[in-house]
């Protein structure tokens, strides 16, 4: 018998036992949670205030500071027992003036191109940068081309996201290293600038920003994203006119670190208050849209978890904390700070859940349990039936979130809310990530799903037949 089969049998056994061990009250409470979210929900009106009212809120910006204040108030309004801030220093990158780019082929073919600076990028020289341009689709092509063909040039990373991947995050995962690591890898071969095809599955004119991470070993060179329409244009023209130049001008820069905050709302547990369950999203967003899906949704859903417990008069056995993490997009300092304080204060985090994949219809949760917690993992997976009535029962291994990764390293099981992913990369990191793209019910269902999972964890821990 193979190992997989034995696991399957064990799981089946646990499932069977576990299903019968559900008290009627679990499903009744979960039904109440969903009804509360769908009939009296505040996540949508909260998102209107955060996204439309405050707008873009990149770490260190005035928008982020306003968002911290707003979140504190919204958490108090939701009925949290305690709301507090956690100070952290964050990188303060600013985009500067609107970026300009131009295809510099034969006169008749010249055209302005839609670009935006990658987050953390350095500026071009004040007058802009013009250079020959080399298109590649794989990092390995750089090694083949070698320094002689890259030195002094701009590298154009143009591998599209793979549309045949059903989960669009897999398509993203297959392409995003071009943006995150591409600039430094190109610099290694002497490139003077980088243009990256936007991480998008549609043909469109909006460029998608997102973080790039420089490797300090190599020079920092300016890097931008180009819209998919203009990436296709550029690629086509370069085939005809390979000697063409590419011009771009960006004035973005990194300022000194800025003081900012995580915002934390707590409901104190009645029986085991020392056992903490975190539910969160990130409060910062890119500057071009209003960050409604990324990650206003996760913020208002996390606040909604607090509100739902209070509105239903549920006093959880364990402590629930809704956390609005700062600086996920270009530094992760908020997540680091939270985990640092958790360790310093010897807090016991038994679970951390993140919503950071958009405010779309929830399909389930992915989980990552630390080694040695296989039985607890099976308990979690056995809760599938509780989510089936809500079409959110895809409970599976693999998942978490950037802001709770450090908690995971400290031994906390982590969970990621998994919404339907088809529309996410249409708006991700662009001017189109705006409140009007969020559907009220889809958003509400995500908050309810998280509240339901938290109910199960607060009442049971991960005990039960699996332990």
How far from each other are the two terminal CA atoms of the chain, in whole angstroms?
Answer: 24
| Beta pairing class for 129-136 and 193-197 | unpaired
Least distance CB 291 / a second copy (angstroms): 20
Nearest to 295 by CA among 308, 310, 284, 279: 284
Q: Give the integer Cα–Cα distance in Å for 325 and 457.
A: 22
Q: Which residues are catalytic?
A: 328
Which is closer to a second copy, CB of 38 or CB of 65?
A: 38
Least distance CB 32 / a second copy (angstroms): 10
Least distance CB 34 / a second copy (angstroms): 7
Least distance CB 294 / a second copy (angstroms): 17
Which is closer to a second copy, CB of 37 or CB of 54?
A: 37
Planar angle of CA 258, 259, 265, nearest 5 degrees: 140
Least distance CB 321 / a second copy (angstroms): 28
Which is closer to a second copy, CB of 81 or CB of 394?
A: 394
Planar angle of CA 235, 239, 245, nearest 5 degrees: 70
Query: What distance lies between CA 230 and its chain's CA centroid?
Result: 26
For 321, how many CA atoms within 13 A lie in the half-sphere containing its CB?
25
Nearest to 339 by CA among 418, 271, 400: 400
Which is closer to a second copy, CB of 281 or CB of 419?
A: 419
3-class state of residue 111 by DSSP: strand
What are the structure tokens assigned to 98, written together?
A: 């609107």
Q: Are 303 and 446 in contact (CB under 8 A)?
A: no
Residues that bind a second copy (CB under 8 A): 34-35, 38-39, 163-164, 166-168, 201-202, 361, 363, 389-391, 394, 420, 422-423, 426, 439-442, 445
- Crossing angle of the two packed helices 440-460 and 24-40, in degrees rounded to 10: 150
Least distance CB 196 / a second copy (angstroms): 22
DSSP assignment of 338-360 equals: HHHHHHHTT-EEEEEEE--S-SS
Which is closer to a second copy, CB of 58 or CB of 175?
A: 175
Which is closer to a second copy, CB of 7 or CB of 151?
A: 7
Least distance CB 310 / a second copy (angstroms): 19
3-class state of residue 38 by DSSP: helix
Q: Give the integer Cα–Cα distance in Å for 284 and 289.
A: 12
Which is closer to a second copy, CB of 38 or CB of 131?
A: 38
Least distance CB 380 / a second copy (angstroms): 19
Q: Cis link prior to 462 (omega < 30° from 0)?
A: no
Q: Whose structure tokens read 């909260």?
A: 46
Which is closer to a second copy, CB of 24 or CB of 164?
A: 164
CB count in 10 Å sphere of residue 144: 9
What are the structure tokens assigned to 465, written together?
A: 């037949």
Q: Whose structure tokens read 């390995």?
A: 140
Cα dihedral value 425, 428, 429, 434, nearest 10: 140
3-class state of residue 130 by DSSP: strand
Which is closer to a second copy, CB of 41 or CB of 331?
A: 41
Q: Give the integer Cα–Cα distance in Å for 407 and 393.
A: 25
CB count in 10 Å sphere of residue 21: 12
Least distance CB 259 / a second copy (angstroms): 40
Q: Give the integer Cα–Cα distance in Å for 352 and 366.
A: 12
């Amino acid at each position: 018998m193979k190992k997989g089969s034995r696991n399957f049998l064990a799981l089946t056994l646990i499932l069977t036992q576990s299903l019968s061990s559900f008290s009627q009250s679990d499903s009744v409470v979960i039904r109440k949670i969903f009804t509360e979210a769908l009939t009296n929900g505040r996540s949508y009106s909260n998102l209107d205030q955060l996204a439309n009212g405050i707008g873009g809120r990149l770490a260190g910006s005035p928008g982020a500071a306003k968002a911290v204040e707003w979140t504190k108030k919204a958490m108090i309004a939701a009925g949290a027992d305690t709301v507090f801030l956690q100070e952290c220093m964050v990188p303060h990158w600013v985009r500067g003036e609107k970026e300009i780019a131009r295809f510099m082929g034969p006169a008749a073919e010249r055209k302005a191109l839609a670009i935006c600076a990658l987050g953390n990028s350095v500026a071009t020289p004040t007058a802009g940068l013009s250079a020959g341009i080399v298109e590649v689709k794989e990092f390995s092509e750089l090694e083949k081309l070698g320094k002689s063909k890259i030195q002094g040039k701009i590298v154009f990373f143009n591998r599209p996201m793979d549309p045949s991947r059903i989960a669009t995050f897999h398509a993203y995962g297959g392409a995003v290293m071009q943006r995150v690591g591409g600039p430094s890898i190109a610099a290694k071969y002497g490139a003077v600038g980088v243009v990256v095809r936007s991480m998008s599955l549609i043909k469109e004119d909006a460029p998608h920003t997102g973080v790039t991470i420089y490797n300090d070993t190599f020079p920092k060179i300016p890097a931008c994203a180009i819209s998919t329409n203009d990436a296709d244009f550029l690629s086509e023209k370069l085939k005809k006119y390979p000697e063409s130049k590419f011009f771009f001008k960006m004035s973005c820069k990194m300022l000194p670190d800025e003081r900012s905050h995580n915002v934390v709302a707590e409901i104190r547990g009645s029986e085991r208050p020392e056992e903490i369950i975190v539910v969160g999203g990130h409060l910062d967003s890119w500057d071009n849209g209003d960050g409604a899906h990324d990650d206003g949704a996760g913020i208002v859903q996390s606040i909604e978890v607090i509100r739902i417990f209070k509105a239903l008069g549920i006093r959880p056995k364990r402590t629930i904390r809704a956390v609005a993490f700062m600086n996920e997009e270009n530094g992760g300092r908020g997540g680091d700070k939270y985990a640092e304080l958790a360790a310093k204060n010897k807090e016991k985090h038994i679970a951390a859940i993140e919503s950071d994949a958009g405010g779309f219809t929830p399909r389930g949760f992915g989980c990552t349990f630390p080694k040695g917690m296989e039985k607890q993992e099976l308990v979690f997976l056995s809760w599938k039936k509780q989510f089936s009535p809500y079409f959110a029962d895809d409970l599976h291994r693999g998942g978490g979130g950037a802001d709770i990764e450090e908690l995971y390293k400290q031994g906390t099981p982590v969970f990621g809310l998994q919404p339907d992913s088809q529309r996410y990369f249409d708006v991700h990191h662009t001017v189109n990530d705006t409140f009007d793209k969020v559907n009220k019910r889809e958003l509400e269902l995500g908050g309810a799903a998280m509240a339901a999972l938290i109910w199960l964890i607060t009442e049971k821990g991960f005990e039960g037949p699996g332990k």
